[in-house]
């Protein structure tokens, strides 16, 4: 039997809403971010949100950028479509010899990345 709140294969899903939910400005993690596109992940990255994140990144990823920083501090759930979106962002950055950085992912997201071995291809910056 699967415990309540656990989604098989895809990770933990929390049904509680953070009372003080707000988006803070991203703290710079390097001296110069002029070549870094900064995006914020939604609270859930599923089939419903994956294509919009991918489209937003492609639209905003102009020739000025090489790297993508994705703020994952509020991302509590990700499914296979969400993982596909992350892989697309990584490929987008790699086309310009850049990288995708996942900033401050929650433990449930890290578990999924480790389970799928995707933690080996993404740069993960703990919070």
Given this model, what pLDDT does residue 34 score?
A: 79
Task: Tally Cβ neighbours within 10 Å of residue 30.
Answer: 10
Q: Half-sphere exposure of residue 42, counting CA atoms within 13 Å on the CB side? A: 16
Q: pTM (2 decimals)?
A: 0.73
45 beta partners: 78
Which sequence spans correspond to the domains of the chain? 35-125
pLDDT tens track of the chain, all 127 residues? 444 443 333 333 333 333 333 333 333 333 336 799 999 999 999 999 999 999 999 999 988 899 999 999 999 999 999 999 999 999 999 999 999 999 999 999 999 999 999 999 999 999 8
Are 67 and 101 within 8 A, CB to CB?
yes
Architecture of the domain whose range is 35-125: 2-Layer Sandwich (3.30)
């Amino acid at each position: 039997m699967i415990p309540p709140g656990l989604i098989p294969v895809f990770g933990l899903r929390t049904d509680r809403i953070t009372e003080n939910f707000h988006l803070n400005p991203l703290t710079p993690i390097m001296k110069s971010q002029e070549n870094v596109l900064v995006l914020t992940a939604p609270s859930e990255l599923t089939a419903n949100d994956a294509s919009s994140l991918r489209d937003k990144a492609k639209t905003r990823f102009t020739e000025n950028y090489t790297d993508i920083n994705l703020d994952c501090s509020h991302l509590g759930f990700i499914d296979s479509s969400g993982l596909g979106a992350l892989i697309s962002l990584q490929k987008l950055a790699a086309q310009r010899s850049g990288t995708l950085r996942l900033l401050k992912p929650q433990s449930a997201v890290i578990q999924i990345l480790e389970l799928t071995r995707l933690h080996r291809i993404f740069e993960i910056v703990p919070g």
